[in-house]
Structure 1
Amino acid sequence: MPDAGTLTRADLAESLHRHVGLSRADSSNMVEGILRHVCEALSAGNNVKISGFGSFVLRDKGERIGRNPKTGVEVAIAPRRVLTFRASQMMRDRIAKKG
């Protein structure tokens, strides 16, 4: 895992390679497969829950009125679907201990 910054797909694959002993190619394929499966589930309208990590939840936001901050002109914001992430309590506890 990197010391600071952003964790990447390559970092995850390298960690699998080192800790599980899979080849680098198999590790990369496994990471890609998991991410693809998560993306497909979300695209199909399903929420994704990973115990001890958190939940990816789809929410439908209705149409609403917004305001241009520069001009003050009101504009309609179209309804849309958004993806949110909620960390599990276990993850929040771990993060709080690091801070």
Structure 2
Amino acid sequence: MTKAELCKKISDQTGCDMQSISAIVESLMVSVKGSLEKGENVYLRGFGSFILRRRAEKTARNISKNTTVIVPAHDIPAFKPAKEFTDLISKLKD
């Protein structure tokens, strides 16, 4: 599902116009990105959490130049689904 399809579905369910829903969805994404940028996790009860995961420093290889490269420790964004959400999805697969 794309962002446009999501906005269309929400618009159909709520009866609100597509432009308002699109602005709300975009605002949600900007807010989540901004919080993660500040190092704050975002918790959506019953859905999941947008969190930062720390990747440790590691040694990698550049195979085209046949050299080793040190990749510094860094944070990456991740999504951790809520237990209710994972239970719902697992029931669909059974």
Check whether the contact 2:57–2:72 (CA below 8 A) recurs between aligned residues.
yes
In the alignment, structure 1 residue 24 sits paired with structure 2 residue 5? no
Q: TM-score, normalised by structure 1?
A: 0.79
Shift of 1:67: 5.0
Q: TM-score, normalised by structure 2?
A: 0.82
Shift of 1:85: 1.5
Partner of 1:3: none
1:14-69 residue CA offsets vs partner (Å, 9 max, x unmatched): 11211111111111111111111111111111111111111111122232234568
Partner of 2:47: 53
Unaligned runs of 5+ in 2: none
Unaligned runs of 5+ in 1: 1-6
Partner of 2:27: 33
Percent identity of paired positions between Structure 1 and Structure 2: 29
Q: Size of the alignment, in residue pairs? A: 93
In the alignment, structure 1 residue 13 sits paired with structure 2 residue 12? no
Aligned mate of 2:90, from 90, 96, 99? 96
